[in-house]
Protein backbone atom coordinates (compact mmCIF):
# COMPACT_ATOMS: atom_id res chain seq x y z
CA UNK A 1 0.00 0.00 0.00
CA UNK A 2 1.10 3.55 -0.77
CA UNK A 3 0.17 6.28 1.72
CA UNK A 4 0.46 10.05 1.47
CA UNK A 5 -0.17 13.04 3.72
CA UNK A 6 -1.88 16.09 2.27
CA UNK A 7 -3.30 19.38 3.45
CA UNK A 8 -6.79 19.78 2.01
CA UNK A 9 -9.95 21.59 3.09
CA UNK A 10 -8.23 23.06 6.11
CA UNK A 11 -6.97 19.77 7.57
CA UNK A 12 -4.08 17.34 7.27
CA UNK A 13 -5.40 14.10 5.79
CA UNK A 14 -3.97 10.67 5.07
CA UNK A 15 -4.65 9.34 1.59
CA UNK A 16 -3.86 6.13 -0.24
CA UNK A 17 -2.93 5.61 -3.89
CA UNK A 18 -5.81 4.38 -6.05
CA UNK A 19 -5.04 3.95 -9.77
CA UNK A 20 -3.04 7.17 -9.88
CA UNK A 21 -5.47 9.11 -7.71
CA UNK A 22 -5.55 9.99 -4.02
CA UNK A 23 -8.27 8.20 -2.06
CA UNK A 24 -9.30 10.00 1.12
CA UNK A 25 -10.67 8.28 4.23
CA UNK A 26 -14.23 9.29 3.24
CA UNK A 27 -13.86 7.58 -0.15
CA UNK A 28 -13.39 10.66 -2.30
CA UNK A 29 -10.73 10.42 -4.99
CA UNK A 30 -8.61 13.40 -6.00
CA UNK A 31 -6.12 14.07 -8.76
CA UNK A 32 -2.64 14.94 -7.52
CA UNK A 33 -2.93 18.48 -8.92
CA UNK A 34 -6.36 19.20 -7.41
CA UNK A 35 -6.78 22.90 -6.63
CA UNK A 36 -5.87 23.85 -3.03
CA UNK A 37 -4.37 20.42 -2.36
CA UNK A 38 -0.88 20.58 -0.83
CA UNK A 39 1.32 17.50 -0.62
CA UNK A 40 3.18 17.09 2.66
CA UNK A 41 6.07 14.76 3.47
CA UNK A 42 4.47 11.30 3.83
CA UNK A 43 5.46 11.15 7.50
CA UNK A 44 6.58 13.54 10.21
CA UNK A 45 10.38 13.26 10.30
CA UNK A 46 11.93 12.16 13.57
CA UNK A 47 15.67 11.47 13.61
CA UNK A 48 16.93 11.71 10.04
CA UNK A 49 20.21 10.09 9.03
CA UNK A 50 21.75 10.81 5.64
CA UNK A 51 24.60 9.04 3.84
CA UNK A 52 27.41 10.75 2.02
CA UNK A 53 29.29 9.04 -0.84
CA UNK A 54 27.39 5.75 -0.51
CA UNK A 55 27.71 4.92 -4.22
CA UNK A 56 31.22 4.26 -5.54
CA UNK A 57 30.48 5.88 -8.91
CA UNK A 58 29.35 9.07 -7.15
CA UNK A 59 32.53 9.12 -5.05
CA UNK A 60 34.59 8.77 -8.23
CA UNK A 61 32.53 11.52 -9.88
CA UNK A 62 33.67 13.84 -7.11
CA UNK A 63 37.26 12.52 -7.20
CA UNK A 64 37.00 10.93 -3.76
CA UNK A 65 38.04 7.52 -2.55
CA UNK A 66 34.98 5.43 -1.57
CA UNK A 67 34.60 5.50 2.22
CA UNK A 68 35.56 2.52 4.37
CA UNK A 69 32.91 3.27 7.00
CA UNK A 70 29.53 4.99 6.54
CA UNK A 71 29.66 8.77 6.28
CA UNK A 72 26.54 9.79 8.18
CA UNK A 73 25.16 13.22 9.04
CA UNK A 74 21.86 14.45 10.49
CA UNK A 75 19.19 16.66 8.93
CA UNK A 76 16.76 19.08 10.56
CA UNK A 77 12.99 18.72 10.18
CA UNK A 78 12.54 22.08 8.44
CA UNK A 79 14.64 20.79 5.53
CA UNK A 80 11.72 18.72 4.23
CA UNK A 81 9.05 19.72 1.75
CA UNK A 82 6.42 17.61 0.02
CA UNK A 83 5.77 16.43 -3.54
CA UNK A 84 5.18 19.23 -6.04
CA UNK A 85 6.81 21.67 -3.62
CA UNK A 86 9.34 24.37 -4.37
CA UNK A 87 12.98 24.59 -3.28
CA UNK A 88 14.94 27.82 -3.20
CA UNK A 89 18.26 28.31 -4.94
CA UNK A 90 20.30 31.01 -3.13
CA UNK A 91 20.79 33.94 -5.49
CA UNK A 92 24.56 34.21 -5.11
CA UNK A 93 25.67 30.60 -5.65
CA UNK A 94 27.27 28.99 -8.70
CA UNK A 95 26.33 25.30 -8.33
CA UNK A 96 23.33 23.54 -6.77
CA UNK A 97 22.52 19.92 -7.55
CA UNK A 98 19.87 17.30 -6.79
CA UNK A 99 20.43 13.87 -5.22
CA UNK A 100 17.90 11.09 -5.82
CA UNK A 101 17.87 8.82 -2.76
CA UNK A 102 15.95 5.80 -1.48
CA UNK A 103 14.72 6.49 2.05
CA UNK A 104 14.34 3.71 4.62
CA UNK A 105 11.65 4.38 7.24
CA UNK A 106 12.04 2.60 10.57
CA UNK A 107 8.89 1.01 12.01
CA UNK A 108 9.99 -0.50 15.35
CA UNK A 109 12.25 0.37 18.26
CA UNK A 110 15.53 -1.49 17.99
CA UNK A 111 19.03 -1.54 19.44
CA UNK A 112 21.97 -3.77 18.40
CA UNK A 113 20.00 -5.18 15.45
CA UNK A 114 21.80 -7.99 13.59
CA UNK A 115 21.98 -7.41 9.81
CA UNK A 116 19.99 -10.58 9.14
CA UNK A 117 17.09 -9.16 11.18
CA UNK A 118 17.28 -5.59 9.88
CA UNK A 119 14.34 -5.72 7.48
CA UNK A 120 12.05 -6.71 10.37
CA UNK A 121 12.49 -3.15 11.65
CA UNK A 122 11.59 -1.39 8.38
CA UNK A 123 8.11 0.10 8.00
CA UNK A 124 8.54 1.19 4.41
CA UNK A 125 10.29 3.33 1.83
CA UNK A 126 9.98 6.72 0.21
CA UNK A 127 12.05 9.06 -2.00
CA UNK A 128 14.18 12.06 -1.07
CA UNK A 129 15.74 14.65 -3.34
CA UNK A 130 18.55 15.88 -1.12
CA UNK A 131 19.72 19.11 -2.77
CA UNK A 132 23.21 20.41 -2.08
CA UNK A 133 24.74 23.83 -2.67
CA UNK A 134 28.37 23.18 -3.56
CA UNK A 135 29.43 26.76 -2.81
CA UNK A 136 28.75 26.11 0.88
CA UNK A 137 30.38 22.68 0.98
CA UNK A 138 33.47 22.66 3.16
CA UNK A 139 34.07 18.89 3.10
CA UNK A 140 32.24 16.20 1.10
CA UNK A 141 32.95 13.76 3.91
CA UNK A 142 31.08 15.88 6.45
CA UNK A 143 28.54 18.19 4.77
CA UNK A 144 27.72 21.18 6.94
CA UNK A 145 24.30 22.47 7.96
CA UNK A 146 24.16 25.17 5.30
CA UNK A 147 24.44 22.47 2.64
CA UNK A 148 22.07 19.81 3.97
CA UNK A 149 19.61 21.39 6.42
CA UNK A 150 18.40 24.45 4.57
CA UNK A 151 14.66 25.11 4.85
CA UNK A 152 12.82 23.24 2.09
CA UNK A 153 16.02 21.79 0.64
CA UNK A 154 14.89 18.15 0.71
CA UNK A 155 11.68 17.17 -1.09
CA UNK A 156 10.27 13.93 0.35
CA UNK A 157 7.54 11.62 -0.95
CA UNK A 158 5.14 11.40 -2.56
CA UNK A 159 4.32 8.06 -0.96
CA UNK A 160 5.30 5.93 1.97
CA UNK A 161 5.33 2.44 0.44
CA UNK A 162 4.91 -0.42 2.89
CA UNK A 163 7.95 -2.68 3.22
CA UNK A 164 5.97 -5.80 2.31
CA UNK A 165 5.24 -4.28 -1.10
CA UNK A 166 8.95 -3.85 -1.99
CA UNK A 167 10.33 -7.29 -2.83
CA UNK A 168 13.99 -6.28 -2.98
CA UNK A 169 14.92 -2.73 -1.95
CA UNK A 170 18.52 -3.49 -2.88
CA UNK A 171 17.64 -3.88 -6.57
CA UNK A 172 15.66 -0.81 -7.57
CA UNK A 173 16.37 1.44 -10.54
CA UNK A 174 16.50 5.13 -9.72
CA UNK A 175 16.98 8.26 -11.75
CA UNK A 176 16.53 11.99 -12.10
CA UNK A 177 14.97 14.07 -14.89
CA UNK A 178 15.54 17.81 -15.31
CA UNK A 179 12.91 19.46 -17.50
CA UNK A 180 12.08 16.03 -18.93
CA UNK A 181 15.67 15.01 -19.77
CA UNK A 182 17.19 12.14 -17.82
CA UNK A 183 20.41 13.25 -16.16
CA UNK A 184 20.97 10.54 -13.51
CA UNK A 185 20.45 6.80 -13.41
CA UNK A 186 21.56 4.02 -11.11
CA UNK A 187 20.46 1.04 -9.07
CA UNK A 188 20.32 0.57 -5.32
CA UNK A 189 22.39 -2.62 -5.63
CA UNK A 190 25.39 -0.33 -6.18
CA UNK A 191 25.32 1.08 -2.65
CA UNK A 192 28.60 0.64 -0.81
CA UNK A 193 26.80 0.04 2.50
CA UNK A 194 23.48 -1.74 2.04
CA UNK A 195 20.32 -1.32 4.09
CA UNK A 196 20.90 -4.20 6.56
CA UNK A 197 24.44 -2.97 7.20
CA UNK A 198 23.29 0.60 7.84
CA UNK A 199 20.55 -0.45 10.26
CA UNK A 200 22.97 -2.69 12.15
CA UNK A 201 25.65 0.03 12.16
CA UNK A 202 23.37 2.77 13.52
CA UNK A 203 21.61 0.57 16.06
CA UNK A 204 24.95 -0.56 17.46
CA UNK A 205 25.33 2.75 19.31
CA UNK A 206 21.83 4.25 19.44
CA UNK A 207 18.22 3.12 19.57
CA UNK A 208 16.27 3.39 16.34
CA UNK A 209 12.60 4.33 16.68
CA UNK A 210 9.45 4.45 14.53
CA UNK A 211 9.62 7.40 12.15
CA UNK A 212 13.41 7.52 11.98
CA UNK A 213 14.61 7.78 8.39
CA UNK A 214 17.80 6.79 6.60
CA UNK A 215 18.61 8.56 3.33
CA UNK A 216 20.85 6.05 1.60
CA UNK A 217 22.87 8.18 -0.82
CA UNK A 218 22.85 8.95 -4.53
CA UNK A 219 24.62 7.59 -7.64
CA UNK A 220 26.61 9.61 -10.15
CA UNK A 221 25.04 12.04 -12.61
CA UNK A 222 24.80 15.42 -10.90
CA UNK A 223 23.79 18.55 -12.83
CA UNK A 224 23.52 22.19 -11.76
CA UNK A 225 19.86 23.25 -11.52
CA UNK A 226 18.47 26.72 -12.11
CA UNK A 227 15.35 28.66 -11.08
CA UNK A 228 12.36 27.44 -13.07
CA UNK A 229 13.72 23.91 -13.54
CA UNK A 230 11.38 21.00 -12.86
CA UNK A 231 13.28 18.16 -11.22
CA UNK A 232 11.78 14.66 -11.01
CA UNK A 233 13.43 12.01 -8.89
CA UNK A 234 12.04 8.53 -9.51
CA UNK A 235 12.60 5.11 -7.94
CA UNK A 236 11.20 1.89 -9.33
CA UNK A 237 8.16 0.75 -7.37
CA UNK A 238 8.34 3.68 -4.95
CA UNK A 239 7.14 6.62 -7.00
CA UNK A 240 7.90 9.83 -8.81
CA UNK A 241 8.76 12.92 -6.76
CA UNK A 242 8.31 16.27 -8.54
CA UNK A 243 9.94 19.52 -7.41
CA UNK A 244 10.51 23.00 -8.87
CA UNK A 245 13.46 25.32 -8.26
CA UNK A 246 12.75 28.92 -7.26
CA UNK A 247 15.15 31.82 -6.85
CA UNK A 248 15.77 32.95 -3.29
CA UNK A 249 14.73 36.48 -2.31
CA UNK A 250 17.38 39.14 -2.75
CA UNK A 251 18.80 38.75 0.77
CA UNK A 252 22.49 37.90 0.34
CA UNK A 253 24.21 35.13 2.26
CA UNK A 254 27.87 35.24 3.17
CA UNK A 255 29.77 32.34 1.61
Cβ(47)–Cβ(209) under 8 Å?
Answer: yes
Decide if pLDDT at 87 tops 60: yes
pLDDT of residue 41: 98
Rounded mean pLDDT, 92-101: 94
pLDDT mean across residues, the chain:
93
Confidence of residue 252 (pLDDT cuts 50, 70, 90): low
Question: Which superfamily is assigned to 1-40 in CATH?
Answer: FAH (2.30.30.370)
pLDDT of residue 190: 94
pLDDT of residue 63: 66
Rounded percentage of the chain residues whose pLDDT exceeds 70: 95
Q: With residue 58 as reference, give the H or E element that holds it.
A: helix 56-61
For residues 113 and 1, give the distance between their C-alpha atoms in angstroms, rounded to a whole number: 26
* Phi/psi of residue 189, nearest 5 degrees: -65, -15
Order of strands, sheet of 85-89, starting from the edge strand that comes earlier in the sequence: 85-89, 239-247, 230-235, 173-178, 181-187
Task: Please report, for the chain, the start and end positions of each structural domain, with discontinuous segments joined by +.
Answer: 1-40, 41-247
For residues 120 and 83, give the distance between their C-alpha atoms in angstroms, rounded to a whole number: 28
Non-local CB neighbours of 11 within 8 Å, separated by 6+ positions = none
C-alpha 21, offset from chain centre: 22
Decide if pLDDT at 254 tops 80: no
For residues 19 and 230, give the distance between their C-alpha atoms in angstroms, rounded to a whole number: 24
For residues 123 and 117, give the distance between their C-alpha atoms in angstroms, rounded to a whole number: 13
Decide if pLDDT at 164 tops 60: yes
Please tell me which of 43-47, 61-65, 68-72, 201-205 the model is most confident about, judged by mean pLDDT.
201-205
Question: Is the model more confident about 146 or about 48?
Answer: 48
Question: Which superfamily is assigned to 41-247 in CATH?
Answer: Fumarylacetoacetase-like, C-terminal domain (3.90.850.10)
Whole-angstrom CA distances from 244 to 5, 81, 86, 98, 239 are 19, 11, 5, 11, 17
Which residue in 215, 255, 212, 173 sits closest to 73, CA to CA? Answer: 215
Residues belonging to the chain = 255
pLDDT of residue 146: 81
pLDDT of residue 137: 80
pLDDT of residue 32: 94
Residue pLDDT, tens place only, 190-248: 999 999 999 999 999 999 999 999 999 999 999 999 999 999 999 999 999 999 999 88
Domains 1-40 and 41-247 share a fold: no
Instruction: Indicate the DSSP class of residue 169.
Output: T
Decide if pLDDT at 166 tops 60: yes
Decide if pLDDT at 22 tops 70: yes
Rounded mean pLDDT, 56-71: 80
Amino acid sequence: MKRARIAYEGAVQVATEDNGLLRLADGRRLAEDTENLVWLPPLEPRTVFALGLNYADHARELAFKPPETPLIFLKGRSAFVGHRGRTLRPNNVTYMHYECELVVVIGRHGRSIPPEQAYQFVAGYTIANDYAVRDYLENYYRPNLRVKSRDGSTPLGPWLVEAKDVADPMNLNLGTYVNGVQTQQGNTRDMIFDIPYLIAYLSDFMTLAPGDMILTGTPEGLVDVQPGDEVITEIEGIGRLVNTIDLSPERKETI
